């Protein structure tokens, strides 16, 4: 019931946005463009209200149960429903306009194919398969369940600082789904909705720069051709959400800076509010987006000063307010704990460059680009790596400089790798870079010919005028009784003046990429962090290709892109569906798999630092019984229908330990569980939450080993005494705080039964 209220609130937020845009704004775009704008505005304001709900309820420790949050969403649903009722005439008119749109049959068929063969399988993967990425298991989802357990979003004791200090907006959206459903079936859908929003705003940006219907379709398919975007969409990562809000910031900022039409004060206010809210939400999702937004903020500032003069202060005010409102609470919590806005110094040093310089920018930029140029050919990939190493050597730049290369929690820099792989961490964007290079070379070639041969420029202008007249004639021949164009042409004749702003846009995008390379260390997972930047080049690529190629060539290229995207989706579904949990039993090294379920048992003595002897029960698996424990006895009981197996699809070697430990916890009847994991090993916390809550008990899971300063947090409970502790530390460390009664040792983890020392 609660989840229905959540979904209906989103739907009515969208309907109200569509009606309000039709009623308050004087601009009358084509119906589907207006639909895109309404979807983006609805997502922005639904996210903003969710942010206020979570922050407000946290003050009163009211996140433990779903009722308070459901009540707020229900009240919001009523307000949007009432607003939609009063604007019903505008909403009816908006949807009535669809009758006058002469859609291109080719576009309609491709859109249907995308919906059926791309988005439906992605939605199936998002709902049917649980979150299983390392980041989701380590900190994205555990922090949500700790918030629900504590009733607030304040800091809490943990040995995983990323659960505390990283921007929380994407997790705020998942909190409601976790509370209302009591499980993680819908957690991945947040990124799916954001992925659909990215499609809408990409089409809006291309339309703003003069791209017609097929050009917009080309841009959307280019999004699907980026494997990192496609593979990350059905996950609980945050980069798709970040990209959506970043693009919304760009779109509304460009609308506000346009001089093609005179904006009323009401329209200026609307675009300024949307721009400010998008800016604040994007920075509350991931701080790395600041590198891409700073160049645009500077250009927008100068542009608005020129256009609006005295009125520019109000626009600046909305931008500053949007940034402060959605980030001050987050900054405040961080400052109270670490004394810094974003995170403790040692965490900042892990991601920020330790030094600045042109060599740093060149090295990181070259590696960030070269890392994307992976192909399914080992020899070419090896040549890529050798070329990058030799390039650094020739220029006298240190290869894998530890001051500019991510080292994780250690001191050894990550290696520059060119292995072809398809996943949500390291997939490259080879096609986008190749097409971007082609468009840039074509543009430079045209400009050089214009400078060297002035007559060529006159010929080009004459050709452009003829093409404009031809496109205008095509538009006039179509059924269009309401002055709503069909947008069949690749480029719209009325938007030719936007060419100069497209060039400025792509220069600012490139500048953002260089600024990112100057500020942040290179890391092999940079494809995710650079996703807003790479996808940001798609409007330039799409419009450039539409200028280079004929409509017939574009019509042939679009199905090729669709076929490539479909193959990616097939690979993703197959990789998820045909994961076999028995693979988790395969061990290349000669050592026993530790599992207490079907075992012979023995006792050994461990000596603690105090010299006391502790009996530790070590269980060693009988290999002959291993297959009987996990083998599928019928299709109904196979791994396809056991969600608990799917959490370990990416790291199957964890499965035996986690399932065995949760079964032992259920057998012992304990409900107070302590966590003591070493961050150096990057163990996963979330699967314990997900599996244990299926046992229908009220489990309480808290950390027992963490930095001392976190005892100052609001959620520190000095009276919490765990019955069992899950750890990968040695029993000697646990025995310093607790008296060990018994321990079960597994391959990676140890389950310890303890009681508080007197």
In tens, the pLDDT along 382-413 reads: 999 999 999 999 888 888 888 899 987 777 88
Q: 633: pLDDT confidence band, cut at 50, 70 and 90?
A: very low
Q: 341 with 323: CB under 8 angstroms?
A: no
Lowest mean pLDDT among 519-533, 545-559, 590-604: 590-604
Q: 748 with 690: CB under 8 angstroms?
A: no
Neighbours of 118 (CB within 10 A): 19
For the cut 90, the answer to whether the pLDDT of residue 604 exceeds it is no
Q: Please tell me whether residue 434 adopts helix, strand or coil conformation.
A: helix
More confident residue, 530 or 263: 530
* Tokens 């004929």, residue located: 550
Q: 179 with 66: CB under 8 angstroms?
A: yes
For the cut 80, the answer to whether the pLDDT of residue 563 exceeds it is yes
More confident residue, 121 or 525: 121
Query: What pLDDT digit, counting tens, does each position of 202-243 carry?
Result: 999 999 998 888 999 999 999 999 999 999 999 999 999 999
* Residues 6 or more apart in contact with residue 108 via CB below 8 angstroms: none
Q: 129 with 38: CB under 8 angstroms?
A: no
pLDDT of amino acid 483: 33
Question: Could you tell me what percent of the chain has a pLDDT over 70?
Answer: 85
3-state helix, strand, coil in the chain (%, to 5): 65, 5, 30
Q: 514 with 458: CB under 8 angstroms?
A: no
Burial of residue 723 (number of CB atoms within 10 Å: 0-12, 13-18, 19+): middle
Q: 545 with 427: CB under 8 angstroms?
A: no
For the cut 90, the answer to whether the pLDDT of residue 687 exceeds it is yes
Query: What pLDDT digit, counting tens, does each position of 285-299 carry?
Result: 999 999 999 999 999
- Six token digits for residue 373: 């140029």
pLDDT of amino acid 101: 58
More confident residue, 532 or 338: 532
CA atoms within a 13 Å half-sphere pointing along the CA-CB vector of 344: 12
Closest Cα partner for 136 from 230, 234, 48, 6?
234
Positive or negative, the CA dihedral 55, 57, 59, 62 is negative
d(CA 608, CA 614): 8
Query: What pLDDT digit, counting tens, does each position of 10-65 carry?
Result: 999 999 999 999 888 877 777 888 899 999 999 999 999 999 999 999 999 999 99
pLDDT of amino acid 494: 58
pLDDT of amino acid 584: 52
Closest Cα partner for 213 from 542, 438, 566, 537?
542
Q: 526 with 190: CB under 8 angstroms?
A: no
For the cut 50, the answer to whether the pLDDT of residue 548 exceeds it is yes
d(CA 494, CA 485): 11
Q: How far is CA 747 from the centre of its chain?
A: 33
Packing angle, helices 120-128 and 551-577, rounded to 10: 20
Q: 697: pLDDT confidence band, cut at 50, 70 and 90?
A: confident
For the cut 50, the answer to whether the pLDDT of residue 603 exceeds it is no
Q: 60 with 71: CB under 8 angstroms?
A: no
pLDDT of amino acid 62: 95
Positive or negative, the CA dihedral 325, 326, 328, 329 is positive
> Is the entire prediction scored with pTM above 0.85?
yes
* Residues 6 or more apart in contact with residue 372 via CB below 8 angstroms: 428, 429, 430, 432, 433, 527, 534
DSSP class of 138: I
Alpha-carbon distance values, 539 to 78, 249, 408 (Å): 38, 15, 35
d(CA 372, CA 86): 51
- Six token digits for residue 188: 């991945």
Q: 187 with 129: CB under 8 angstroms?
A: no
* Tokens 């006159």, residue located: 458
DSSP class of 479: -
pLDDT of amino acid 495: 59
Query: What pLDDT digit, counting tens, does each position of 257-306 carry?
Result: 876 667 888 888 999 999 999 999 999 999 999 999 999 999 999 999 98
Q: 326: pLDDT confidence band, cut at 50, 70 and 90?
A: very high
d(CA 87, CA 639): 50
DSSP 616-680: EEEEEE-HHHHHHHH--SSGGGSGGG-HHHHTTSS-GGGHHHHHHHHHHHHHHT--EEEEE--GG
Q: 645 with 639: CB under 8 angstroms?
A: yes
For the cut 50, the answer to whether the pLDDT of residue 594 exceeds it is no
Query: What pLDDT digit, counting tens, does each position of 438-449 carry?
Result: 999 998 988 888
pLDDT of amino acid 29: 74
* Residues 6 or more apart in contact with residue 348 via CB below 8 angstroms: 340, 342
d(CA 268, CA 257): 10
pLDDT of amino acid 655: 83
pLDDT of amino acid 695: 87
Q: 429 with 228: CB under 8 angstroms?
A: yes
- Six token digits for residue 473: 């004639």
User: Rg for the chain (alpha carbons), in Å?
Assistant: 28
For the cut 70, the answer to whether the pLDDT of residue 593 exceeds it is no
For the cut 70, the answer to whether the pLDDT of residue 579 exceeds it is no
Provide the b/e sequence for 401-411 (b: ≥16 CB within 10 Å).
Answer: beebbbbeeee
Q: How far is CA 712 from the centre of its chain?
A: 31
What average pLDDT does the chain have?
84
pLDDT of amino acid 472: 46
Which contiguous run of DSSP H or E holds residue 463? helix 454-476
Helix and strand numbers (H, E) in the chain are 32, 7
d(CA 406, CA 349): 9
For the cut 50, the answer to whether the pLDDT of residue 583 exceeds it is yes
Query: What pLDDT digit, counting tens, does each position of 91-129 carry?
Result: 888 878 766 555 678 888 899 999 999 999 999 989 988
Mean pLDDT of 509-525: 94
DSSP 70-137: HHHHHHHHHHHHHHHHHTHHHHHHHHHGGGG----HHHHHHHHHHIIIIIHHHHHHHHHS----HHII
């Amino acid at each position: 019931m609660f989840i229905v209220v959540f979904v209906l609130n989103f739907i009515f937020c969208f309907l109200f946005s569509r009606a309000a845009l039709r009623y308050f704004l004087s601009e009358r775009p084509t119906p589907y463009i207006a639909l895109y704008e309404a979807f983006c505005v609805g997502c922005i304001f639904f996210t903003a209200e969710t942010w206020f709900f979570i922050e407000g309820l946290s003050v009163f420790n009211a996140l433990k149960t779903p009722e308070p949050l459901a009540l707020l969403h229900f009240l919001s649903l009523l307000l949007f429903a009432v607003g939609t009722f009063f604007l019903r005439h505008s909403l009816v008119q908006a949807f009535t306009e669809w009758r006058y749109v002469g859609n291109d049959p080719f576009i309609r068929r491709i859109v249907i194919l995308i919906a059926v063969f791309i988005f439906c399988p992605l939605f199936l993967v998002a709902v049917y398969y649980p979150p299983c990425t390392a980041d989701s298991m380590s900190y994205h989802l555990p922090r949500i369940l700790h918030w629900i357990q504590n009733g607030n979003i304040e800091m809490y004791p943990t040995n995983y600082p990323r659960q505390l200090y990283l921007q929380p907006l994407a997790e705020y959206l998942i909190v409601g789904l976790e509370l209302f459903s009591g499980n993680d079936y819908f957690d991945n859908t947040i990124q799916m909705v954001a992925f659909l929003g990215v499609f809408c705003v990409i089409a809006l940006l291309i339309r703003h720069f003069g791209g017609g219907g097929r050009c917009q379709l080309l841009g959307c398919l280019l999004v699907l051709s980026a494997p990192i975007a496609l593979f990350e969409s059905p996950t609980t990562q945050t980069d798709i959400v970040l990209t959506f809000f970043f693009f919304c910031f760009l779109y509304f900022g460009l609308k506000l800076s346009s001089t093609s039409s005179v904006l009323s004060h009401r329209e200026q206010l609307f675009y300024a509010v949307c721009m400010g809210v998008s800016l604040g939400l994007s920075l509350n999702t991931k701080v790395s987006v600041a590198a891409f937004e700073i160049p645009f903020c500077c250009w927008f500032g100068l542009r608005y000063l020129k256009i609006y003069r005295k009125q520019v202060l109000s626009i600046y005010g909305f931008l500053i307010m949007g940034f402060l409102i959605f980030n001050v609470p987050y900054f405040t919590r961080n400052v109270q704990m670490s004394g810094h806005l974003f995170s403790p110094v040692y965490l900042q040093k892990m991601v920020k460059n330790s030094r600045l310089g042109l060599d740093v920018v060149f090295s990181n930029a070259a590696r960030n680009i070269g890392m994307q140029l992976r192909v399914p050919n080992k020899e070419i990939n090896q040549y890529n790596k050798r070329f990058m190493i030799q390039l650094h050597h020739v220029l006298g730049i240190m290869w894998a400089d530890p001051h500019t290369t991510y080292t994780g929690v250690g001191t050894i820099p990550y290696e520059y790798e060119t292995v072809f792989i398809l996943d949500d961490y390291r997939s490259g964007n080879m096609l986008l870079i190749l097409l971007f290079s082609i468009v840039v070379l074509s543009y430079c070639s045209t400009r050089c010919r214009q400078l060297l041969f002035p007559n060529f420029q006159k010929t080009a202008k004459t050709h452009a005028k003829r093409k404009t007249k031809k496109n205008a004639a095509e538009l006039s021949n179509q059924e269009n009784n309401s002055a709503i164009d069909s947008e069949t042409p690749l480029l719209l004749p009325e938007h030719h003046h936007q060419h100069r702003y497209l060039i400025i846009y792509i220069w600012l995008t490139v500048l953002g990429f260089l600024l990112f390379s100057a500020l942040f260390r290179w890391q092999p997972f940079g494809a995710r962090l650079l996703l807003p930047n790479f996808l940001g080049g798609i409007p330039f690529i799409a419009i450039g290709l539409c200028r280079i190629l004929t409509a017939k060539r574009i019509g042939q290229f679009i199905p090729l892109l669709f076929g490539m995207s479909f193959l990616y989706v097939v690979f993703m579904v197959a990789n998820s569906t045909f994961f076999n949990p028995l693979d988790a039993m395969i061990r290349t090294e000669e050592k026993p798999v530790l599992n207490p379920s079907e075992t012979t048992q023995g006792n050994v003595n461990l000596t603690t630092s105090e010299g006391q002897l502790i009996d530790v029960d070590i269980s060693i698996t009988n290999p002959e019984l291993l297959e009987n424990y996990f083998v599928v006895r019928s299709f109904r009981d196979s791994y396809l229908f056991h969600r608990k197996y799917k959490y370990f699809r990416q790291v199957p070697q964890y499965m035996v330990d986690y399932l065995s430990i949760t079964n032992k916890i259920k057998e012992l009847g304990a409900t107070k569980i302590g966590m003591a994991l070493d961050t150096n090993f990057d163990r996963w916390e979330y699967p314990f939450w997900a599996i244990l809550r299926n046992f229908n008990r009220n489990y309480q899971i808290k950390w027992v080993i963490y930095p001392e300063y976190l005892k100052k947090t609001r959620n520190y409970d000095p009276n919490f005494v765990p019955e069992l502790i899950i750890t990968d530390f040695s029993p000697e460390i646990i025995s310093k705080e607790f008296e060990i009664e018994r321990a079960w040792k597994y391959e990676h983890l140890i389950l310890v039964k303890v009681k508080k020392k007197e």
